[in-house]
Chains A and B, each alone.
Chain A
Amino acid sequence: MSNNFKGIAASNGIAIAKAYLLVDPDLSFTKTTITDVTAEQARVDDALKVASADVEIIKSRAEKNLGADEAQVFEAHLMVLSDPEMSGAFKQKIADDKVNAEQAVKEVTDMYIGMFEAMTDNAYMQERAADIRDVTKRILSHLLNVALPNPALIDEEVVLVSKDLTPSDTSQLDRQFVKGILTDFGGRTAHASIMARTLEIPAVVGSEVATQKITAGVTVIVDGLTGDVIVDPDSETLATYQQKAANYLAQRAEWALLKDQQSVSADGKNFVLGANIGSPKDMDAVLENGSEGVGLYRTEFLYMESDHLPTEDEQFVAYKAVVEKMAGKPVTVRTMDIGGDKNLSYWKLPKEENPFLGYRAIRISLDQTEIFRTQLRALLRASAYGNLWIMFPMIATLGEFRAAKKVYLEERAKLEEAGVSMGEIKLGIMIEIPAAAVLADKFAKEVDFFSIGTNDLIGYTMAADRGNDKVAYLYQPYNPSILRLISNVITAAHNEGKFVAMCGEMAGDPIAVPVLMGMGLDEFSMSAPSVLQTRSLMKKLNTADMKLLAEKALDAETNDEVIALVEAATK
């Protein structure tokens, strides 16, 4: 039986080392009734004082190892320890309930932890609950006179395995020895994950079972790229992962050099490599990977992650954050694409026989114009803070684009009248419905840009749902029928001097990229971790050769034939 399991990939890289279990000491205690309230309250004061002294030491170590910014969290811990309301609550509990200090501390901190964890709409606050747990453990350990284990004692190469990693744990990690991190709890934005990325230690978090399945000293492989965890690997698996780890390091070194470079082919033609995002939270990855723009901002997540239709201000805050972070580089925002498989809990759309062919995206926006106008106003206001482009999804006819543009111009005029400052905005459409791809020459006269959404374009062209295993073979991105549609769109745009982007999965696909370069696609937008890899690929390719490849691909007969052509041309 396999002991392997999977968690959330939180920090890139592959670690292979012996497991070091960072397990909490027993901090259990019995609730007792006390008589001397003052003495018990004094125990609390003492524990808080010693705990503060501990944190001071950890903080200075963190400042030294990680820098002042990273040590800030301990400043917050110190403030928790000196919080007048909290220590007041401990003492009140002791006086009111006549319970021992341990019980009072537990009840009060549990109350705070519960309160922060209940903020389910705020991942940041939920994760701060971990900070309070950390502080509580320290107070309890002093009340109970037991030592907390200390990661600073590690003196050989290990994969650190724990339920959760607290800031005081991570601040004491020595990169020389801690090769990987594996936890039961936490998400990509948990403190442990952020620290692991800062320290460039491969990490898998939220595995749920790591501390149960792993015993101290056993060899563990942590694949921070996929989230895979392999326990006690056989020699073959070990060799495979050693190779993977070496490849990753070599590639990362090569890609890192490209972070601040332009995306340029071997013969010096420039392209734009953008990243796709779903929320301002994704911006760190966008910047870390040297993206030259945001080619697709999927705004529907604002609607899906809320319990109400997001207000103009809520949307404005999100859009502004993204354009500001890009500092003048273009951010293409797609207006709400709800419907199809994307539903809202608070606004039920009528059940449909064929939701993908039904009431979705721009079709809803043009019908429920108040929702659309709210979004456009938020976008117009945010445009003052950077370089913002707007595109409408699921456009099938020119009439739809004209109607959407009309609403946009009306809202723009209203804001202008109110003296609101706005930037210049390019208006474009997603090309994902074959009808628009075929009529691209007419659209090109009216829009500022196209962005080709390949996932839907392929689905609609092949009339096949890729999620259905029985017809999944029809998802053929390189089929010449698809390539001809794409080529038609690019040519039509360039004939009118317009810009063409692609924001579907094809844009970062190493088979498709050479062909698309040959067709002259202007912008490739993909998931942020693919950007540097694609930049590296482009550098090796010559556009004149790729133009010939594209011509052959357009004249090919099948998907497989195109793959063979690309492989031959890029060898």
Chain B
Amino acid sequence: MTQSKDFHIVAETGIHARPATLLVQAASKFTSDVTLSYQGKDVNLKSIMGVMSLGVGQGADVTIKTDGDDEESAMAAIVEAMETEGLAE
């Protein structure tokens, strides 16, 4: 079962250099495929270039999916990263 979760980005800078870095770091720790979707586009959340190319700003609504053996812990790690950094709600 793929995990899927919606986030509303509240961080003033959106998902840019520092927040993007933290999300990519969190995702890269897992073997599951991690996908970030925004405005109909999907990118690999382990790819900083992919994440930044979406240009996710404050107020954006994004969806993150994890798919693989450790999909549940991957999603938990991403939710934690979002929360500790005050990125999304």
Question: Which A residues fall within an 8 A CB radius of B?
Answer: 72-73, 75-76, 79-80, 83-86, 112, 115-116, 119, 122, 124-125, 128, 131-132, 280, 313-314, 317, 321
Contact = CB atoms under 8 A, between A and B. Distances in A.
Contacts of A131: 17
Nearest to A135: B49
Contacts of A124: 13, 16
Interface string B37-56: 00000011011111011010
Given A72-B18, A73-B17, A76-B21, A314 B59 contact: yes
A124 B18 CA distance: 13
B12 interface: yes
A80 B59 contact: no
Interface residues of B, number: 22
A124 B13 CA distance: 9
Given A76-B48, A80-B48, A317 B53 contact: no
Interface in B19-66: 20-21, 24-25, 43-44, 46-50, 52-53, 55, 57-59
Contacts of B57: 122
A126 B4 CA distance: 30
Given A76-B18, A83-B47, A83-B48, A116 B59 contact: no
Nearest to B46: A84
Interface of B: 12-13, 16-18, 20-21, 24-25, 43-44, 46-50, 52-53, 55, 57-59
Contacts of B44: 84-85
B11 to A, nearest CB: 11
A128 B21 contact: no
A79 B29 CA distance: 13
A472 to B, nearest CB: 41
26 contacts: A72-B17, A75-B18, A76-B18, A76-B20, A76-B48, A79-B21, A79-B24, A80-B48, A80-B49, A83-B47, A83-B48, A83-B49, A84-B47, A85-B47, A112-B49, A116-B53, A119-B55, A122-B55, A124-B16, A128-B16, A128-B17, A128-B52, A131-B17, A132-B49, A280-B12, A313-B59
A313 B10 CA distance: 12
A78 to B, nearest CB: 9
Contact of B52 (A73, A116, A280, A313): A116
A185 to B, nearest CB: 19
A320 to B, nearest CB: 9
Contact of B25 (A79, A85, A112): A79
Given A116-B53, A128-B16, 13 more contacts: A75-B18, A75-B21, A79-B25, A79-B48, A83-B46, A83-B50, A85-B46, A85-B49, A85-B50, A124-B13, A125-B52, A131-B17, A321-B12
Contacts of A80: 48-49
A312 B47 CA distance: 32
Nearest to A283: B12
Contacts of A75: 18, 21
Contacts of B24: 79
A83 B53 CA distance: 13
Nearest to A115: B53
A125 B17 CA distance: 9
Contact of B17 (A76, A115, A119, A313): A76
A5 B50 CA distance: 40
A118 to B, nearest CB: 10
Contact of A86 (B21, B47, B55): B47
Nearest to B25: A79
